[in-house]
Structure 1
Amino acid sequence: MQRKLNLLLLLFSLIGGAVAFVIGELMLGRLLGDWPSILVVGLYFGVVALGAGLGCLLAEMISPSLNGWSWRRRYLGLSWKLLPLSVALLLGAGTLMEFVYELNFGGLRPVKDIVMVIDDSGSMEQSDPGNSRYTAARDLVMRMDGDNRVAVLTFSDQAAVVQPLTSLGKAGNREQVTTAINTLRTTQGGTNLSGALSEALNVINGDSSSGRGAMVILLSDGVSRLDTSTELRDYVDRGIAVNTIGLSISDPSGPALLKAIAGTTGGQYYDVADANRLADIFRQIYDRLGDRTLLTERTDNTQNSPYYAALRVLSLVLIGAALGLGLGIVFDNRHLAKSFGLGGIVSGLLAGLTLEFGLGGHAFVNAMVRLLAVLLLAGVIALFTAVVPVGEGRLTRRGHGAKQPSRRPSQGYSPRGNRSSKGFRTADKDH
């Protein structure tokens, strides 16, 4: 049992982790949103296990300083066969922890109902002469999932319900909503934000379905009067976020009010100068809706939740421990499994903290944060053999090598010494 470090294993593990990161990012970009996120995250960590496992195995094949030359001669073939088991172990651990991470606890309800509140006052003729806001709303409806429900309201001096909450899972309903949006035109009048928000809440409250969360997207280009402390109380009590979009507002009091509405209700404010960007903003709001995975930024109503922050870190700790144990299984060595497993706990803790406090709103920064987390998982585990002693010790039953010949006492041999053929005892030799 010795503390030792295989620098080649550390290097190859980091290289394998980096290659796994590239493959994992391609999977996230192409599969997340189309495939179940539970499966995508599980596959991501499975690829990490494959990359790190291949790197460690190749390094010990070249220089078996941790597992010994006898392992290379007798058990290398078994290690290659055990590598898929390590990948399956981490795929299962990643899938399980992602499943737990996506559960809603403490009465938390996923947002499935979306109410679009669109300003059609006279000033919109200058702010949005091409009616891009209606195109953006129509495109968003076509993008929504089948388990979403959507409602459309317009407002100027008064608010009007264009389409009540409608399920998009039923045949023909999506076309019904888009047809209703196509009929909208700019009217005359002022900007009554108070009436618009009140009517939007009536639409939500008038629905009999329970267990569904709701969100409001409010678009306006004007200035209004609204007491956020009193008129938004029901929104706050119900946990309904209002995401606000300010379109070409020259009066600074307009954006200030929209920011206050979003901030009070837990939504976000978006400032847009060009109406042609509205489709991107609508899509961005929807894409951030309910986005909660171990590998991405939380953008739902758990964004600032200390519970889900701790759960992410704990999940990565368990995934790191599973990765370390899997590497020990690959080498069929209980001492390496212990060392790598403890290293996995530490590496998972560091990776979890990196993801929790590093992920933000920029896609490139998020990718670099994930790269650092993967390198921490792969690198810290490889370093831990310098902390926890390792030695030879199979996890499975030893293979059958050449049998050692049994020693039989020769004629005249006595445990007490050697005797000559005449029976005289000779002196024992010191060994």
Structure 2
Amino acid sequence: MQRKINWLLLLFSLIGGTVGFAIGEIILGALLESWPRFVVAGLYFGVLALCIGLSCLIAEMIAPRLNGSSWRARYTGLSWQLLVPATLVLLFAVGALLQLLYGLHFGGSKQVKDIVLVIDNSGSMLETDPENERYTAAKQLIENMKDDKRVAVVVFSNTAELLQPFVSVKSQAEKDEVNAAIDALEPTDGGTNFSLALAETMKTIESKKYAERGTMVILLSDGFSESNISRQLEAYQAQQVVVNTVGLSVVDARGTALLQQIADSTGGSYYDVSEAGGIALVFQNIYNKLDNRTLITDRTGVMEHSTFYTLLRILSLAIIGAAIGVSLGLMFDNRFLALSFGAGGIVSGLLAGFILEYGLSGHAFSDGFIRFIAILVLAAIIGAFTLIVPVRESSSLKPRSGGRSGGKKAEPSSTGFSGRAKDSRSHGF
């Protein structure tokens, strides 16, 4: 048993992690919004493990520092056979299961199924949105909603009105009903009252059926309100209702600050839109982030700052790190490497979990960079942990007494997972 390191393996592990990161980002961009999240997470970690495993296998074939020359001469064929099942398949299963767990609703949280659109209909909107593109964006969002959702619409100026009570969007007829109510709206010359808008919206939420369904609010305005909204915000906090706010061409800094306050106080996000034509994209972006809890992306909603989900993500990454380490040991059919790499995976997974938890912010470029750093930490510590936890070469020959000549006879040591000595007929896996 020796503490040693294969520097080429460490370098190739980082290269493999980089390649896995690049492929993983393509997977996220192409599949996250259309495929089940547990499948996407499973693919992400499975591909990452495959890239790291392939790189480490090539490094050991070039310089068999950890497994020894006997492994390179006799057992590389077995390692190639085990590469895909030990890395891609194993980590797909582990990543998918952990994502399923992470996506469950614990601690009284509710999955958002009901959405309230709260739209400014004050006189100033005639200037900032003369073509009523905010209503076009609302109808487009409703068209794109999944059939398990319900929607309600509140419009406000210096008064607030429930334009459309909660209605399912399972059928096109139900969607057309909401669209017709929106099309019938008449412009007003009133002012802006956030207090009445928030109060009417909460009244609608509290009077709805199926209280077990979570609710999210999208509020759009172009102005500032003098009304006091402290009491209303307390009600939203108590009900754990997220309010995402959209500011359209807001010229008064106080209006921007107030919309930001509403979003921050309820666990939502504020979006600034300079032209009405950008409203549809923002509405869809907000919808796409509903209950966005994946192990590799920013967590949003009422559980954004949840201690439980913070610990669950970090623990999940530790398990994934351990699984990647063990997968490398399986690939080499060396239980000592599996122990060393697995221990390193736990340590690196914890660090990667902290990096993701406190580094992800919801911005595409910076989040990609954070994932890249986490993956490099994961790959580097796993590859270097044989300096901490000692390993034994796979199938190294050691002498023993015996034989007809009375001299020494070589026998292979047992490093495989079966615990049996390896020879040309038994690979010991």
Whether these two folds match at TM > 0.5 is yes
> Which amino acid is 2:40 matched to?
V
In structure 2, what is the Cα distance between the partners aligned to 1:282 and 1:324?
42
Change (3 A) 1:375 1:250: closer
The percentage of aligned residue pairs carrying the same residue is 53
Shifted more, 310-319 versus 159-168: the winner is 159-168
Alignment of 1:29-428 (within 5 A): 29-87=29-87, 88-392=89-393, 393-396=415-418, 397-401=420-424
In structure 2, what is the Cα distance between the partners aligned to 1:203 and 1:402?
73
CA-atom RMSD in angstroms: 1.9
Q: Note the C-alpha offset of 1:56.
A: 0.9
Q: What is residue 422 of structure 1 aligned with on the other side?
A: none
Change (3 A) 1:365 1:222: closer
In structure 2, what is the Cα distance between the partners aligned to 1:222 and 1:18?
46
> Which amino acid is 1:149 matched to?
R
In structure 1, what is the Cα distance between the partners aligned to 2:155 and 2:191?
12
| Contact 1:316–1:352 (CA under 8 A) maintained in structure 2 | yes
Q: Note the C-alpha offset of 1:171.
A: 4.7
Tell me which structure has the larger Cα radius of gyration. 1
Q: Note the C-alpha offset of 1:256.
A: 3.4
Per-residue CA shift, 1:60-106, capped at 9, x if unaligned? 11211111111122222111111122122211111111111111111
| Contact 1:228–1:264 (CA under 8 A) maintained in structure 2 | no
> Which amino acid is 1:358 matched to?
G
Change (3 A) 1:173 1:54: same
> Which amino acid is 2:291 matched to?
G
| Contact 1:4–1:386 (CA under 8 A) maintained in structure 2 | yes
Shifted more, 40-49 versus 350-359: the winner is 350-359
Per-residue CA shift, 1:193-250, capped at 9, x if unaligned? 2222222122212211121111111122233333222233322211112222232344
Shifted more, 117-126 versus 164-173: the winner is 164-173
Change (3 A) 1:69 1:129: same
| Contact 1:16–1:52 (CA under 8 A) maintained in structure 2 | yes
Per-residue CA shift, 1:26-75, capped at 9, x if unaligned? 11111111110011001110001110111111111121111111112222
> Which amino acid is 1:395 matched to?
F
Q: What is residue 6 of structure 1 aligned with on the other side?
A: 6
| Contact 2:267–2:302 (CA under 8 A) maintained in structure 1 | yes
In structure 2, what is the Cα distance between the partners aligned to 1:301 and 1:232?
14
| Contact 2:14–2:376 (CA under 8 A) maintained in structure 1 | yes
Change (3 A) 1:249 1:22: closer
In structure 1, what is the Cα distance between the partners aligned to 2:135 and 2:425?
81
| Contact 2:9–2:56 (CA under 8 A) maintained in structure 1 | yes
> Which amino acid is 1:263 matched to?
D
> Which amino acid is 2:295 matched to?
L
Shifted more, 386-395 versus 108-117: the winner is 386-395
In structure 2, what is the Cα distance between the partners aligned to 1:266 and 1:100?
22
Change (3 A) 1:290 1:78: same
| Contact 1:98–1:294 (CA under 8 A) maintained in structure 2 | yes
| Contact 2:195–2:229 (CA under 8 A) maintained in structure 1 | no
The answer to whether structure 1 residue 20 and structure 2 residue 20 are counterparts is: yes
| TM-score, scaled relative to structure 1 | 0.88
Per-residue CA shift, 1:359-405, capped at 9, x if unaligned? 113211111111121222222111111221111312234444499xx
Give ranges in structure 1 of 5+ residues lacking alignment.
404-431
> Which amino acid is 1:261 matched to?
I
Change (3 A) 1:401 1:155: closer
Q: Note the C-alpha offset of 1:129.
A: 1.0
SS of structure 2 residue aligned to 1:151: strand
| Contact 2:267–2:301 (CA under 8 A) maintained in structure 1 | no
In structure 1, what is the Cα distance between the partners aligned to 2:157 and 2:361?
36
In structure 2, what is the Cα distance between the partners aligned to 1:271 and 1:43?
34
Shifted more, 187-196 versus 22-31: the winner is 187-196
> Which amino acid is 1:207 matched to?
K
> Which amino acid is 1:33 matched to?
E
> Which amino acid is 2:85 matched to?
L
SS of structure 2 residue aligned to 1:172: helix
SS of structure 2 residue aligned to 1:232: helix
In structure 2, what is the Cα distance between the partners aligned to 1:376 and 1:207?
48
Change (3 A) 1:90 1:310: same
SS of structure 1 residue aligned to 2:225: coil
| Contact 2:33–2:288 (CA under 8 A) maintained in structure 1 | no
Shifted more, 243-252 versus 276-285: the winner is 243-252
| TM-score, scaled relative to structure 2 | 0.89
In structure 1, what is the Cα distance between the partners aligned to 2:2 and 2:362?
45
In structure 2, what is the Cα distance between the partners aligned to 1:65 and 1:251?
66
| Contact 1:191–1:224 (CA under 8 A) maintained in structure 2 | yes
Give ranges in structure 2 of 5+ residues lacking alignment.
394-414
Q: Note the C-alpha offset of 1:270.
A: 2.9
> Which amino acid is 1:325 matched to?
V
| Contact 2:243–2:263 (CA under 8 A) maintained in structure 1 | yes
SS of structure 1 residue aligned to 2:161: strand
> Which amino acid is 1:66 matched to?
L
SS of structure 2 residue aligned to 1:227: coil
In structure 2, what is the Cα distance between the partners aligned to 1:157 and 1:223?
11
In structure 2, what is the Cα distance between the partners aligned to 1:264 and 1:224?
17
Shifted more, 178-187 versus 199-208: the winner is 178-187
Shifted more, 284-293 versus 33-42: the winner is 284-293
**How many matched pairs?**
403
